[in-house]
């Protein structure tokens, strides 16, 4: 299946991507891909080592005539987001990604593709392996766990790298040059509750929200996509208000950095209210699907009878939970007043689990302004604490402040204009890039981010554009030829 991928141009790039995608590489389970990268570097007889947290560094000397150029750090992350469609059978821990060509795009069969950030990793691998591409001295930095905590970037010690310039290959629009990004923090609310025996004359139902686009909780947060956890809350809130609906279980969302695509709840209502409940829910489902029909054409909400659950949530806790989830901010909180069209601060209510007497709500709050990030994080904390939850902040990482006087920015901007006949879009993004973290231990390093067109990252609709990869590859080669002298 991946044979057709290997025939795409540039073959050196797509072949390395196919090699990489054959290796399972979930976040926090990168042992196999770390070993893969170390073996790759060692087979090339290049200096290769793993640091204390699992990042892999491979160093390659400059090609002839390029010894007087500044040393370049080429950086991408090894891990990938694991998401699959509900009807796709796939084990990310043991299987390689199954890819196929769809016109001008490379996709995966029912799963995330791993182009984020696998195409960046493959780019660096191809350059390390090449014997014909001119380049300055290169330090290839392959970080781990970017998607679920950036612990690789956080754990990278100062002094391991000597490079003057860092090229981060993790931007997903080929006409964009990234000069800044948002920081983030995980907000987690938890509490326990008493389970009660379900009274007599109750009927069980399963409510399912599915078919949403999902997507990247940073790059796509402003697009108005549906959040399955918020839509489920609307249904549960209305069912409780009008029919005394009781909750037994909720399982919604997945990873913090993915907009929730699906949510399931097991509930019970009084048997005598079944007909009215069915009518009310049908009207609500129609209202919601009508609201979202343009942006979420595949949204499906199903309510089916199931065995009546034996236990349900304490009534007071349930009431507080549904109100807190309804009130909690989700989506864009503030647009940047300084950079046009840039989301400054947002939150993704990513995961909601209610089961066996435990509640856990996971959010990812992002902002390019530290004070605004903490303002929203504290708002969420206050919201969930009002319903008796304990709230923990973790995984805090800084943003990357734009430097419009960057020397490497000038190089990339000039080359882009010369190669494409128009200027690149120089911008900060609302995603979390590793540059801000890496800059803490390497404050003098001049950093920039760019990459090929990748759509639908963090969702099974992820796809990489073939023509864009060709454009990007030529750009990379020109950048390496034009690195300034020391």
Q: Which of 12, 30, 79, 147 is catalytic?
A: 79
Give the active site residue among 116, 146, 170, 296.
Answer: 146
Q: Scan for tokens 């059978």, then name that residue.
A: 89
Q: Assess contact for 81 and 174: CB atoms under 8 A.
A: no
Separation CA 18–CA 1 (nearest Å): 10
**How far is residue 172 from each of residues 149, 284, 341, 439, 468, measured CA to CA in Å?**
20, 37, 17, 21, 10
C-beta neighbour count of 288 within 10 angstroms: 18
Pairing of strands 358-367, 463-465: unpaired
Cα 279 to Cα 302: distance, rounded to the nearest angstrom: 13
Q: Measured between alpha carbons, how far is 136 from 481 in angstroms, rounded to an integer? A: 8
Strand-strand pairing, 165-168 and 446-449? parallel
Whether 146 and 395 have beta carbons less than 8 Å apart is answered as no
Q: Give CA angle at 254 (251, 260), nearest 5°.
A: 90
What distances in angstroms separate CA 373 from CA 146, 344, 376, one per listed residue?
19, 9, 5
Q: Residue 257 contacts by C-beta under 8 Å, 6 or more apart in sequence?
A: 81, 147, 148, 216, 217, 218, 348, 350, 364, 432, 458
For the question of residue 249 being annotated catalytic, the response is no
Q: Which of 5, 3, 1 is nearest to 463 (CA)?
A: 5
The sign one gets for the Cα dihedral 104, 109, 115, 118 is negative
C-beta of residue 58 within 8 angstroms of C-beta of residue 47: yes
Whether 275 is catalytic is no
Q: How far apart are CA 125 and CA 3, in angstroms?
A: 19
Q: What angle do CA 243, 246, 252 make, to 5 degrees?
A: 115
The Cα–Cα gap between 150 and 440 comes to 13
Q: Which residues are catalytic?
A: 79, 146
């Amino acid at each position: 299946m991946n044979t057709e991928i290997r025939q795409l141009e540039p073959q050196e790039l797509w072949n390395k991507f196919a090699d990489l995608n054959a290796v399972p590489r979930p976040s926090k389970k990168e042992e196999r891909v770390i070993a893969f990268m170390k073996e790759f570097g060692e087979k090339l007889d290049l200096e290769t080592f793993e640091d204390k947290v699992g990042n892999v560094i491979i160093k390659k000397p400059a090609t002839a005539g390029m010894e007087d150029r500044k040393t370049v750090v080429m950086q991408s992350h090894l891990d990938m987001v694991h998401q699959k469609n509900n009807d796709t059978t796939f084990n990310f821990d043991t299987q390689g990604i199954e890819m196929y060509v769809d016109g001008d795009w490379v996709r995966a069969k029912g799963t995330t593709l791993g182009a984020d950030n696998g195409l960046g990793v493959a780019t660096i691998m191809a350059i390390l392996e090449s014997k014909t591409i001119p380049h300055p001295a290169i330090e290839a930095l392959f970080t781990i766990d970017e998607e679920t905590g950036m612990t690789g970037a956080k754990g990278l010690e100062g002094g391991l790298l000597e490079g003057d310039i860092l090229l981060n290959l993790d931007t997903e629009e080929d006409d964009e040059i990234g000069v800044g990004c948002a920081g983030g923090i995980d907000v987690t609310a938890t509490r326990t509750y008493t389970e009660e025996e379900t009274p007599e004359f109750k009927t069980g139902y399963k409510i399912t929200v599915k078919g949403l686009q999902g997507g990247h909780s940073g790059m796509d947060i402003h697009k108005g996509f549906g959040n399955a956890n918020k839509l489920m809350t609307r249904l549960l809130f209305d069912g409780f208000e009008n029919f005394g609906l009781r909750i037994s279980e909720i399982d919604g969302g997945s990873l913090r950095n993915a907009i929730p695509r699906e949510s399931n709840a097991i509930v019970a209502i009084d048997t005598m209210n079944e007909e009215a409940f069915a009518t009310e829910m049908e009207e609500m489902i129609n209202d919601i699907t009508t609201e979202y029909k343009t942006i979420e054409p595949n949204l499906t909400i199903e309510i089916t009878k199931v065995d009546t659950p034996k236990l349900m949530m304490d009534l007071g806790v349930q009431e507080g939970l549904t109100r807190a989830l309804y009130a909690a901010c989700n989506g864009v909180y503030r647009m940047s007043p300084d950079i046009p069209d840039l989301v400054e601060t947002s939150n993704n209510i990513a995961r909601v689990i209610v089961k066996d007497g435990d509640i856990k709500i996971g959010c990812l709050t992002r902002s390019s302004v530290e004070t605004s990030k903490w303002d929203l994080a504290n708002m969420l904390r206050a919201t969930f604490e009002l319903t008796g939850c304990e709230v923990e902040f973790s995984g805090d990482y800084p943003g990357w402040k734009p430097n419009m006087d960057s020397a490497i920015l000038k190089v990339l901007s000039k080359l882009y204009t010369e190669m494409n006949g128009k200027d690149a879009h120089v911008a900060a993004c609302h995603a979390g890039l590793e540059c801000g973290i890496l800059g803490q231990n390497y404050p003098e390093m001049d950093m920039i981010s760019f990459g090929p067109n990748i759509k639908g990252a963090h969702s099974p609709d992820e796809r990489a554009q073939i023509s864009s990869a060709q454009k990007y590859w030529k750009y990379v080669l020109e950048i390496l030829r034009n690195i300034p002298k020391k």
